[in-house]
Structure 1
């Protein structure tokens, strides 16, 4: 989902991407390579790494562009990227290894493994399974509830607070993309394996697949050959702080390289085997790919996904039908990074695209070209549509235009100061910040700005390139101070009054 002094470095890197697998003598690979290089430039992405596997071999493994727009340093096949939500595929595969050991059943209610888990209602508590969590069918509201990590709660406390997380739908009724659901899935698998989620992924996946430059925490970005996070801000590409979500890591904190991810592709396409070593059983890989939940097509789904292809959730992956073939796919996005993993099992082909720019459709453009190549379709199909969508994405994160004649707030800023509480998110404190206000949430006192917008409406803005401002309104009590506030993104918080 720019440059000035360093534009020369960027142009040179785009025109001369670094190789680790030769494209010579293979027209399809050479054409894909050339497409990636020019598309990186067209989409104004600083850098990317791509791995392609076909028929049990790595046919393309390369870095393109720069790790950081502010200084030289080319991306290569060993450059570390955050995987964002492609981490969910790692979580599902690690859980699958525990299933293979007979310690976990996809369809057994999780209270058998995680007895302290309590859902919002007795039905969820009694019947929620690992499959429900991994196939996005918990009913917890989509793209909601992620902030507990940033607010400073530990894993045990987050698990406890989920009893207050109200579902939007009943269990298995409607697919809802839920990061908290994947956090719980990771905790279930970890408990069954009697180790942390981090150790589970490292020992069940990274070690047997020889993924030596992959990790599960943000510390990996301290590596000299790690990419910076970059975002489009006010029309310019700038370096931003990467998202740090290590506590709920099972949803998004994985890190890896194109070279390492090629090994994961090879394992999946070889039905669980890598270099003659069994990592997962073939039937378990089939279970991951099997469709466990149908989903509506939404704004995150780009061509070739459409109403004609349908979309379904497997376990830590999505799938759809395109040109008579089942496509397995998982995408991801965090502040300053976009990622995608795609498999065509019956063609024994797959691709991973890692890009170091926030909110860009570049990975989808590359995956569409690759899919059309593999399936014998004109590779340029859908490219104009994807590019047009990319231009719209640039506007998605822009703040709403300020009202031309904003109405005055009738109260005083001091009347809003105080501690507010929500059962799920805990406490947020509004304090004076110079002439304005700021918000501090949770044990970490995670900060947000709070600025008057129009009449009684304020805008609450948390840090991060993926965060958008949230309209926040206050209910004023009889004494002239706020009794509560309601944020579009967080819900209702009640003022904690001192007992007299």
Structure 2
């Protein structure tokens, strides 16, 4: 999963580069990490590539330095073989352990294709159909609109066209909470739609969690056990695991990293197991290469086992939700269509169909792309949440296979991120300027203190500590921080955990009698990941 990337935590956008990694790494000591590389022995005996290995090395080194990435792993699958596999840098900044092709990464929203494949296996077995109504398998499933509840299908769960907004409901699992999958599903009935059902694409992690719940409802097996038994084990993808907690040996695991106030630092792995089907698989280049070989071979694993049928594979690659096409990258790639299939994004590039996805959780992002007509797959994993770094490497490799015009993806990404960073910085500086000159709030501090409740997210409290207020969300240790006055009844919450980059406005609603009746929230800037869906909250004061 998501964020900064459509999908999970930092997290998982499908095609575009993530707005992370806005600063250039200037630490000379850190730059030395890029010299560490480990290559798979098999890769050295493979046929020549259309892109020189030295060019890949150069692109990786420049991307890692420009976007402050401590470690990266790259793989190329061609004609049923892993023809290139190499690790770069280190698993954790400041330590010696090198990234290699066996290093495990959190693949985030690239998990979604596994969930679709798990359901495809059940379709092959006649136990479900893509167009089955969700309530026929999960009677407690409810959306805000009864009509949508009645018509919602398994296919709808996998296509981001529910009518809910971007990342709706993600705050029930992100940052890490103690909500159960059942509680998260029950919370859906309180989320108001922002568009009509099946009319618009808005990336949503929670629906993939619900999709995963179809599996135990039909088979009696958990999503984790089913994916391991029916996909990971048959493909011999060891030591890949459905969740971080199920990794048997973490000695070769890529620690996640974030940039906080300009400095790179490792962070703890955040548990989002409640939405496992949306983004919790951990895997390495070797394991994911087998996954791409299976996809490209129509569901047949490298060992010859048919995991799912070619018909199901084709259905998983067929567009269901249309995405708008435009912008300079689409023009450069001669892209005429783009859309979302079942756990995969699809589009055309230079006349070829591209099947791809990205994934991200806090501190880690991954890039997966296939060109079926070329029997080609490309993998790029990084242990920092800069989507720009993985995009530049992946696209530079694809260009060589597609015969694209010569272009420097690293240079383009640096320019784009600099522009985006300047825009975001300008917004945040203006907010800081207003906050610095803010007067006292409209009401005494005690008037804001109390317990507030949102129907899907639950309780939050405002408490007074001396001459300031502190906001704390229930069911998570991460969302707590002081409030500073901004304007009238509007405050800014600055979270104690600075790695989240999610400071937000908090606006208190004053009734006609002069008492506070509720509060709403909104992220301060575009730097905040979409999974902090503060805008969907509608807290009412309880006491």
Same fold (TM over 0.5): yes
Q: 1:425 to 1:469 in 2, by over 3 A?
A: same
Aligned mates of 1:249, 1:101 — CA distance in 2: 23
Q: Which residue of 2 aligns with 1:496?
A: 542
Aligned to 1:215: 241
Instruction: Determine the C-alpha separation between the residues in 1 that align with 2:209 and 2:329.
Output: 26
CA deviations over 1:141-182 (Å, ceiling 9, x no partner): 112310112342111111111111112112211111011111
SS of the aligned residue for 2:236 comes to coil
Tell me by how many angstroms 1:350 deviates.
Answer: 0.5
**CA distance in 1 between partners of 2:331 and 2:389 (Å):** 14
Query: Aligned residue for 2:168?
Result: 144
**Residue in 1 aligned with 2:350?**
323
Partner of residue 440 from structure 1, selected from 462, 472, 477:
472
SS at match of 2:148: helix
Structure 2: runs of 5 or more not aligned: 1-19, 523-533
- 1:15 aligned to 2:35? yes
The worse-fitting range, judged by mean Cα deviation, of 307-316 and 326-335 is: 307-316
**SS of corresponding position for 2:394:** helix
Give the C-alpha shift of residue 115 in structure 1.
1.2
Query: Structure 1: how far apart are the matches of 2:68 and 2:354?
Result: 28
Measured against aligned partners, the alpha-carbon deviations of 1:362-391 in whole angstroms (never above 9, x if no partner) come to 111112112111111235355532332233
Residue in structure 1 matching 2:491, options 448, 453, 458? 458
Question: 1: distance between equivalents of 2:83 and 2:52?
Answer: 7
Aligned partner of 2:209 in structure 1 is: 183
CA displacement 1:289-346 (0-9 Å, x = unmatched): 00111013599x9668878443200000101111111100101222211111101011
Counterpart for residue 123 of structure 1? 147
Question: 1:414, 1:432 within 8 Å by CA — same for their partners in 2?
Answer: yes
Structure 1 range deviating more: 151-160 or 459-468: 459-468
CA 1:58–1:123: 2 relative to 1, 3 Å: same
Which residue is 2:458 aligned to? 426
Q: 1:472 aligns to what? A: 506
Does 2:166 match 1:134?
Answer: no
Q: CA deviation at 1:210?
A: 0.9
Q: In 2, are the aligned partners of 1:365 and 1:387 still within 8 Å (CA)?
A: no
Correspondence 1:39 to 2:63: yes
Q: Is the 8 A contact 2:393 2:409 kept in 1?
A: no
TM-score (norm 1): 0.91
Q: State the distance in 2 between where 1:175 and 1:15 align.
A: 42
Deviation digits for residues 218-243 of structure 1 (CA, Å, limit 9, x no counterpart): 33577121111111222221122333
1:26-425 map, 5 Å:
26-27=48-49, 28-30=51-53, 31-149=55-173, 150-219=176-245, 223-274=250-301, 275-296=303-324, 308-380=335-407, 382-392=409-419, 400-401=428-429, 402-404=432-434, 405-425=437-457
Residues 304 and 382 in structure 1, CA contact (< 8 A), matched pair in contact too: no
Figure out how many residues of one structure are paired with residues of the other and give that number: 495
Does 2:518 align with 1:484?
A: yes
Task: Choose 167-176 or 31-40, whichever is displaced more.
Answer: 31-40
What is the root-mean-square deviation in Å for CA atoms of aligned residues?
A: 2.7
Query: 8 Å contact 1:336–1:465 — kept in the other structure?
Result: no
Partner Cα separation in structure 2 for residue 395 and residue 213 of structure 1: 42
The answer to which structure, 1 or 2, has the higher relative contact order (CA under 8 A, 6+ apart) is: 2
The DSSP-based 3-state class of the residue aligned with 1:367 is helix
Give the C-alpha shift of residue 356 in structure 1.
Answer: 0.9
Alpha-carbon offset, residue 283 of structure 1: 0.6
Q: 2:164 and 2:367 mapped to 1: Cα distance?
A: 24
Distance in 2 (CA, whole Å) between partners of 1:63 and 1:213 is 17
What is the TM-score of this pair, normalised by structure 2? 0.84
How far apart are the structure 1 equivalents of 2:380 and 2:215?
27
- The farther-off stretch of 419-428 and 301-310 is 301-310
Q: Does the CA contact (< 8 Å) of 2:163 and 2:198 recur in 1?
A: yes
